[in-house]
């Protein structure tokens, strides 16, 4: 039996709960716990959106030899099948719709397939539950696959990343060979010859060599800085430039770099699927401009309409110190910033452009730095950032869903539960809930949230600076400051899983409950959606790990009334304000 301890279960304006004691203990049989219900394999839905709906301007439009979609705008049943790993990451999440638009059938491989449910292409692909480091799982997942994309790397995942990268690449290469995969495509890092490389750049080079030696024809694409809305490299450059009008910087800002726009990276990835079987090599890929990092920051300032920055190189800033500074100034945590900074210590310029023999340049040429920055800024302004560097999650943080696994048997959960009736429609309340976090904040004691975010960054967590991908809409697996969206039932439920560093597992659940009597007169569902009042239920759940977890809960518990209570009240007020504004508009229209 699992024990759930409810603490601070306050229920305002609920007669049944008015006399309930503040502390209750309930037992829930493990058999009653909901399972995640995610199948190991799913197939494309017959009514999946056509490629033109997913991607109006695909890179495949000017690529030769791609299969092309059928008359219905979807991949044909006999089209080549491609498998994509790393689909929850920045590049993988953007590659899938490009492949669909090119006419390929796509099999998306993920350890936790439920993380993909919010993606617009989810119903258009096969989804397979598989861990790339598990030989049996990955071998089965690659069965029948023509081309496999390997988009896995352990950026910022701790001291053992080299061994993990090596082992996973060896497992994947062997599985691809046994499954009869026709080609493997890997996106690695551009590295200079004959220099001692940083650990992360050396590891990515080694992974490419392992795949090339796997016995499966392999294309290794080696890129330097990738420019695109939401990429870690772009965000690092963006925030350094915007927040620091004058700065002292390490001498590596004078090294030459050949950045490439993410759209051109996607073009090369899609085009690599049609390479002939005799091709088994690495290709350098880069944009048309070779710049220093200082040039890039000044170029960003011009594109963003900012004054030119004062940039003074000094010899004393090591990559470690630089990454700590980047982690303080930008949303990119130091654990991810450090490998990015270390790669910039080298001059990373393409030594060849042989890729053009197999994937020709687009008719208008590759995208230059200035245009890439303008395109990225336009996406950010329009809130049209499809994936971000934070899409892949934070290494080392808990990923378990809200209690549903047998491992929870006998464990304790601390729950702070509150309800309030809001004089607003469910629609008005949901709009406020779905916009929490990021620039809008958390509607209570902002100083406490900022201090908690700063403390989290000090111990290696994401803090509050990740913000949101979209200021208005959330999907499963979106990052929201130091939370991750675990579940979204539009209009009804938002469940966030904590990714801050805590001695345990934590969730925040926000639920919209329409008035039970609103539909009693036979009103349709749309009318109920627009009819006040609404119950707003808020629940914070914590599963402690050991004594440290117990002490943590009781240390922060006295602040719950201010933080969570204030959050609920202020969200309710914001919804009621929006509701009054809507009523005023309707009244003026009727008048």
Q: Report if residue 86 sits inside a domain.
A: yes
CATH of the domain at 127: 3.40.50.720
Q: Report if residue 206 sits inside a domain.
A: yes
| 216/322 same-domain check | yes
> In whole angstroms, what is the distance from residue 248 CA to residue 311 CA?
6
Q: Look up residue 544 and give its two tokens.
A: 């402690």
| 346/441 same-domain check | no
Q: Residue 374: how many CB atoms within 10 A of its CB? A: 15
Task: Give the DSSP letter string of 287-305.
Answer: -S--EEHHHHHHHHHHHTT
> In whole angstroms, what is the distance from residue 199 CA to residue 25 CA?
51
Instruction: Tell me which of 425-439, 445-459, 547-561 is least confident.
Output: 445-459
Q: Domain ends where: 340, 369, 384?
A: 384
User: Which sign does the torsion angle of CA 161, 166, 168, 172 carry?
Assistant: positive
Judged against a pLDDT cut of 60, whether residue 303 lies above it is answered with yes
What local confidence, expressed as pLDDT, does residue 184 receive?
98
> In whole angstroms, what is the distance from residue 102 CA to residue 58 CA?
8
pLDDT digits over 89-136, tens only? 889 999 999 999 999 999 999 988 888 888 889 999 999 999 998 999
Residue identified by tokens 């509607």 is 443
| 322/268 same-domain check | yes
| 216/311 same-domain check | yes
Percentage of residues in the chain with pLDDT exceeding 70? Answer: 85
Q: Report if residue 404 sits inside a domain.
A: no
Q: Report if residue 400 sits inside a domain.
A: no
| 314/373 same-domain check | yes
Q: Report if residue 32 sits inside a domain.
A: no
pLDDT digits over 253-263, tens only? 888 999 999 99
Q: Look up residue 208 and give its two tokens.
A: 């490419």
| 427/317 same-domain check | no
283: Cα within 13 Å, side-chain hemisphere: 23
What local confidence, expressed as pLDDT, does residue 10 receive?
32
> In whole angstroms, what is the distance from residue 90 CA to residue 112 CA?
16
Mean pLDDT, range 200-227, rounded to an integer? 94
pLDDT digits over 465-491, tens only? 788 888 888 988 888 988 989 889 999
What local confidence, expressed as pLDDT, does residue 256 receive?
92
Helix and strand element counts for the chain (H, E): 17, 22
Q: Domain ends where: 329, 363, 384?
A: 384
What local confidence, expressed as pLDDT, does residue 236 receive?
86
Q: Report if residue 543 sits inside a domain.
A: yes
CATH of the domain at 550: 3.30.530.20
Q: Report if residue 179 sits inside a domain.
A: yes
DSSP 230: T
pLDDT digits over 504-524, tens only? 889 999 999 987 665 555 556
For the CA atoms of 568, 570, 571, 575, the dihedral, rounded to the nearest 10 degrees, stands at 130
Q: Domain ends where: 345, 366, 384?
A: 384
| 470/567 same-domain check | yes
| 371/453 same-domain check | no
Domain that holds residue 284: 52-384
Q: Look up residue 579 and give its two tokens.
A: 């509701």
* Count of domains for the chain: 2
Q: Look up residue 383 and give its two tokens.
A: 């809130």
Q: Look up residue 305 and give its two tokens.
A: 């309409």
Collapsed DSSP state (helix, strand, coil) of residue 276? coil
Q: Report if residue 522 sits inside a domain.
A: no
| 294/377 same-domain check | yes
| 380/418 same-domain check | no
Mean pLDDT, range 153-174, rounded to an integer? 81
| 437/478 same-domain check | yes
pLDDT digits over 25-43, tens only? 222 233 333 334 333 567 8
| 223/268 same-domain check | yes
């Amino acid at each position: 039996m699992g024990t759930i301890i409810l603490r601070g279960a306050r229920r305002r304006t609920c007669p049944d709960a008015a006399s309930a004691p503040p502390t209750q203990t309930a037992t829930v049989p493990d058999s009653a716990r909901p399972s995640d219900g995610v199948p190991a394999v799913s197939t494309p839905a017959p009514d999946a959106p056509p490629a033109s709906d997913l991607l109006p301007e695909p890179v495949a439009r000017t690529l030769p030899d791609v299969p092309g979609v059928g008359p219905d705008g979807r991949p044909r049943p006999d089209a080549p099948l491609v498998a994509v790993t790393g689909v929850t990451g920045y590049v993988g999440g953007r590659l899938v719709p490009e492949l669909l638009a090119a006419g390929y059938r796509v099999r998306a491989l993920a350890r936790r397939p439920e993380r993909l449910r919010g993606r617009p292409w989810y119903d258009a692909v096969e989804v397979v539950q598989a861990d790339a480091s598990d030989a049996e799982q990955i071998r089965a997942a690659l069965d029948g696959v023509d081309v496999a994309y390997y988009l896995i790397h352990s950026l910022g995942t701790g001291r053992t990343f080299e061994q993990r990268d090596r082992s996973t690449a060896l497992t994947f290469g062997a599985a691809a060979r046994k499954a009869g995969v026709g080609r493997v495509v890997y996106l690695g890092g551009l590295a200079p010859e004959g220099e001692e490389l940083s650990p992360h750049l050396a590891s990515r080079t080694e992974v490419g060599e392992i795949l090339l030696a796997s016995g499966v024809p392999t294309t290794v694409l080696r890129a330097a800085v990738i420019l695109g809305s939401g990429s870690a490299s772009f965000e690092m450059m963006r925030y350094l430039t915007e927040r620091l009008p004058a700065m002292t910087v390490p001498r590596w800002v004078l090294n030459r770099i050949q950045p490439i726009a993410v759209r051109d990276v996607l073009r090369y990835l899609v085009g690599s699927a049609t390479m002939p079987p005799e091709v088994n090599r690495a290709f350098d890929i880069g944009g048309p401009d070779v710049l220093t990092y200082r040039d890039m920051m000044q170029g960003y300032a011009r594109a963003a309409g900012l004054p030119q920055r004062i940039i003074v190189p000094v010899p004393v800033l090591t990559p470690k110190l630089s990454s700590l500074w980047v982690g303080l100034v930008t949303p990119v945590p130091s654990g991810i910033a450090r490998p990015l900074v270390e790669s910039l210590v080298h001059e990373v310029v393409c030594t060849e452009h042989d890729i053009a023999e197999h994937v020709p340049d687009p008719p208008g040429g590759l995208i230059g730095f200035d245009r890439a920055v303008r395109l990225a800024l336009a996406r950010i302004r329009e809130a049209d950032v499809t994936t971000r560097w934070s899409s892949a999650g934070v290494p080392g943080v808990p990923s378990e869903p809200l209690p549903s696994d047998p491992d929870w048997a006998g464990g304790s959960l601390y729950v702070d539960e509150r309800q309030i009736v809001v004089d607003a429609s469910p629609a008005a309340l949901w709009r406020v809930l779905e916009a929490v976090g990021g620039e809008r904040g958390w509607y209570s004691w902002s100083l406490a949230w900022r201090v908690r975010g700063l403390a989290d960054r000090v111990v290696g967590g994401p803090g509050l600076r990740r913000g949101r991908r979209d200021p208005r809409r959330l999907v499963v697996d979106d990052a929201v400051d130091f939370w991750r969206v675990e579940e979204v039932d539009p209009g009804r439920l938002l469940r966030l899983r904590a990714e801050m560093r805590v001695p345990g597992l934590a969730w925040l659940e926000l639920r919209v409950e329409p008035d039970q009597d609103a539909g009693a007169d036979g009103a349709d569902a749309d009318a109920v959606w627009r009819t006040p009042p609404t119950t707003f239920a808020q629940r914070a759940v914590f599963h402690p790990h050991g004594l440290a977890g117990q002490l943590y809960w009781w240390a922060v518990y006295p602040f719950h009334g201010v933080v969570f209570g204030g959050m609920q009240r202020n969200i309710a007020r914001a919804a009621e304000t929006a509701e009054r504004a809507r009523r005023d508009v309707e009244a003026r229209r009727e008048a």
